[in-house]
């Protein structure tokens, strides 16, 4: 697709948007010339108990200096739940803060700011009564229900740190996150609904708690979602609704320092187990709120729908904190795009008159495959801004989204960011920046995105390299929970003095960024970040496996899919017929179904260098059938491994991806 394809700023958006080309230029200037006053001015958008006098401090270290200290608004105090709820009570307390749309069409709830405030205060009191206080971690393992949002804000209210876990995680995944964060309390549900099926969450939570043994939190609150009868352990398990109803509806908010932790979110890296990305209160909230307003051109009364699960950072920043801090109405949808029938999402948009809609390329690509009459049947006339996040969006999907969903009337904003950045970083501000399909366009004010080459030289002008950020921004993660050394090592040592994103990118002559994807061993499957090391560790727990290597291969729908080359004990030739399927299922049970490889190849050996490093580049070529162009294989310890890999791969082509 040609880069010449450009969609200019819509005059009707520029005329009314809170940020237009002129004001964006002013912001950019102010942020770069005079950052501290600029950020203190931006801080006014939050409701502080004590307004800060200092903006950013600390730094990323540099060559020979590995001290990374990041701090924003350090002498300010505030409470995130007050910003999302209390401060709207006087002006719009009876307006809708949250619309919940159940998977079952007739199940809808509308909660005003008053209603949500009431629920949050009650749960906050319940948490306190169960021994949770400032700085304690509370884990949640919930489906897309109102209680999940209430839980996050109730933690914020009392200064507890929420650790939200995606309901698709396996019991082991849940156990490892609870163990690492040493959560004192778990909130889960009887069951979740997904595409007409039920997910036995309580049973899975129980398995996680068993695995934890003495490290299990002493209290578990159980939300009744489907009403299924689930075993309740005396003294440990409590019915959520019973406790909440009995609790007092007022709870004074804790006065938190801007740098006090608000949340931990586990995300995958290229090595080891998922790491607990920690965000603090002031900077994170400011970033979520500012970016939500600027990028979605948020206006009072707007209904905003971000389709992400609350278990990912997108759900945190753009289902909960951004829209609610801005006094908007956020929509929480329990269901899936095509259940009970194709077009469900479009019906939800029409039913609830959604203005801002934020989703992922993988979903757009799946919806494009529906009968065109499905999307054409919807009005979609409430929409004003469309957003995409999570992976590169191909031009075809961008154009379909723009024409079929936005009716060529709504700007499409492709937003690049990460769990670690807290909110959007490179993204077109719709009233100011022309869009090119496939490009995340320009960095937001105060974000100094740079490209560096292999040696760490910063590249000028049109160039391609590794994407780094030069200098901190308020939304940046401050550390990895319990392991600051790993934080420094992961993000700040590859290019000393710079934050390294792990992504590659190209910048065109207009300064627009085109993200090309991860350059480390992180694989992005349908917008879910999966570390190759994590999947390899899961394989290693199977008795038949001696070693494995996991790579990402291009996938039309998912962006990337997982392919695994597995060395089995006793040799590939002697392995039982169904072992490949069994191994894929094993990984699914270990990590969650989303991480089960689509392709498993049993091999007798992996291609390794003489120093024992697996040459993933070769595996990628073999998995994608490009073995004619393997490139330089002279560093292989044993070149004969290639023929045996090709033979195994040919066997797979005959038998099917997982046997």
Residues that bind ligand WT7 (CB under 6 A): 267, 313-314, 389-392, 414-419, 440, 501-503, 515, 517-518, 524, 527, 529
Nearest CA to 74 among 43, 45, 103? 43
| Least distance CB 415 / ligand WT7 (angstroms) | 5
Residue 172 or 419: which CB sits closer to ligand WT7? 419
Other CB atoms closer than 10 Å to residue 458's CB: what's the count? 14
In the complex, least distance from residue 22 CB atom to ligand WT7, rounded to whole angstroms: 26
Tell which residue, 153, 506, 547, 447, has the closest CA to residue 319.
153
Min CB(395)–ligand WT7 separation in Å = 13
* Nearest distance, CB of residue 389 and ligand WT7, angstroms: 5
CA distance linking residue 150 with residue 113, whole number of Å: 12
Burial 121-143 (b: 16+ CB within 10 A, else e): bbbbbbbbebebeeebbbbbbbb
Report which residue's Cβ sits closest to ligand WT7.
419
Of all residues in the chain, what percent are helix, strand and coil, respectively (each to 5)? 35, 25, 40
From the CB of 480, what's the least distance to ligand WT7, in Å? 13
- 3 close to 432: Cβ distance less than 8 angstroms: no
DSSP conformational letter for 405: I
Q: Are 189 and 223 in contact (CB under 8 A)?
A: yes
Q: How far is the CB of 490 from ligand WT7 (least distance, A)?
A: 12
What spatial distance separates the first Cα and last Cα of the chain, rounded to whole Å? 36
Nearer to ligand WT7 among residue 365 and residue 518 (C-beta): 518
CB of 410 to ligand WT7, least distance (A): 17
How many angstroms separate the CA atoms of 320 and 312, rounded?
11
Whether the CA torsion 451, 453, 458, 463 is positive or negative: it is negative
Nearer to ligand WT7 by Cβ, of 416 and 491: the residue is: 416
Nearer to ligand WT7, 302 or 391 (CB): 391
Residue (318 or 333) nearer to ligand WT7, CB: 318
Residue nearer to ligand WT7 on the CB measure, 103 or 520: 520
74 and 52 in contact (C-beta within 8 Å)? yes
> Minimum distance from CB of 293 to ligand WT7 (Å)?
18
Nearer to ligand WT7, 418 or 604 (CB): 418
**Cα gap 243→297, rounded to integer Å:** 39
Task: Give every CB contact of residue 164 below 8 A, 6+ residues apart in sequence.
Answer: 139, 140, 142, 148, 151, 152, 263, 265, 310, 311, 315, 316
Between 217 and 446, CB nearer to ligand WT7: 446
The pair of structure tokens assigned to 96 is 């809708």
């Amino acid at each position: 697709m040609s880069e010449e394809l450009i969609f200019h700023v819509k005059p009707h958006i520029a005329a009314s948007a809170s940020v237009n080309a002129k004001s964006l230029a002013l912001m950019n200037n102010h942020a770069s010339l005079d950052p501290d006053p600029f950020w203190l001015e931006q801080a006014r958008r939050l409701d502080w108990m004590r307004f800060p006098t200092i903006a950013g401090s600390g730094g990323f270290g540099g060559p020979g200096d590995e001290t990374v200290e990041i701090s924003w608004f350090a002498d300010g105090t505030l409470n995130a739940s007050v910003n999302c709820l209390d401060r709207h009570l006087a002006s719009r307390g009876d307006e809708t803060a949250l619309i919940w749309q159940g998977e079952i069409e007739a199940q809808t709830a509308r909660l005003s700011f008053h209603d949500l405030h009431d629920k949050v205060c009650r749960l906050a009191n319940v948490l306190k009564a169960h021994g949770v206080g400032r700085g304690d971690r509370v884990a949640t393992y919930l489906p897309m229900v109102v209680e999940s949002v209430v839980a996050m804000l109730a933690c914020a209210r009392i200064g507890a740190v929420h650790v939200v876990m995606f309901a698709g995680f396996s019991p082991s995944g849940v156990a490892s996150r609870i163990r690492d964060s040493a959560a004192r309390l778990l909130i889960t549900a009887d069951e979740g609904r997904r595409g007409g099926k039920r997910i036995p969450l309580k049973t899975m939570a129980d398995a996680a708690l068993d695995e934890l043994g003495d490290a299990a939190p002493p209290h578990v609150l159980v939300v009744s979602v489907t009403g299924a009868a689930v075993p309740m352990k005396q003294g440990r398990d409590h019915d959520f609704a019973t406790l909440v109803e009995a609790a007092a509806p007022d709870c004074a908010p804790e006065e938190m320092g801007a740098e006090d932790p608000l949340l931990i979110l586990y995300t995958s890296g290229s090595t080891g187990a998922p790491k607990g990305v920690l965000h603090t209160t002031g900077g994170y909230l400011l970033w979520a709120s500012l970016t939500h307003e600027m990028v979605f051109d948020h206006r009072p009364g707007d209904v905003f729908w971000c389709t992400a699960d609350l278990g990912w950072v997108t759900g945190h920043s753009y289902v909960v904190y951004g829209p609610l801090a801005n006094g908007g109405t956020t929509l929480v949808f329990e269901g899936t795009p095509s259940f009970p029938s194709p077009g469900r999402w479009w019906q939800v948009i029409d039913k609830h008159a959604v203005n801002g809609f934020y989703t992922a390329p993988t979903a757009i690509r799946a919806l494009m495959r529906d009968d065109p009459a499905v999307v054409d049947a919807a009005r979609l006339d409430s929409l004003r801004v469309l957003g995409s996040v999570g992976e590169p969006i191909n031009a075809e999907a961008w154009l379909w989204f723009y024409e079929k969903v936005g009716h060529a009337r709504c700007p499409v904003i492709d937003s690049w960011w990460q769990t670690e950045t807290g909110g959007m970083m490179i993204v077109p501000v719709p009233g100011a920046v022309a869009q090119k399909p496939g490009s995340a366009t320009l960095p937001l004010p105060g974000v100094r995105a740079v490209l560096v080459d292999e040696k760490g030289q910063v590249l000028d002008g049109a160039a391609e390299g590794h994407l780094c950020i030069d200098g901190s921004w308020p939304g940046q993660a401050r550390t990895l929970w319990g392991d600051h050394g790993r934080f420094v090592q992961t993000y700040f040592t590859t290019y000393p003095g710079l934050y390294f994103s792990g992504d590659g990118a190209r910048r065109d002559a207009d300064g627009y960024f085109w993200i090309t994807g991860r350059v480390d061993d992180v694989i992005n499957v349908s917008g879910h970040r999966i570390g190759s090391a994590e999947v390899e560790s899961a394989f290693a727990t199977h008795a038949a496996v001696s070693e494995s290597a996991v790579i990402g291969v291009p996938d039309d729908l998912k962006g990337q899919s997982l392919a695994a080359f597995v060395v089995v004990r006793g040799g590939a030739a002697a392995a039982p017929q169904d072992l490949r399927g069994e191994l894929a299922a094993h990984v699914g049970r270990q990590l969650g179904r989303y991480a089960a490889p689509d392709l498993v190849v049993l091999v007798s050996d992996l291609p390794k260098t003489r120093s024992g490093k697996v040459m993933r580049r070769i595996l990628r070529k073999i998995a994608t059938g490009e073995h004619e162009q393997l490139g330089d294989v002279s560093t292989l310890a044993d070149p004969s491994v290639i023929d045996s890999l090709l033979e195994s791969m040919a066997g797979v082509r005959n038998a099917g991806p997982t046997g």
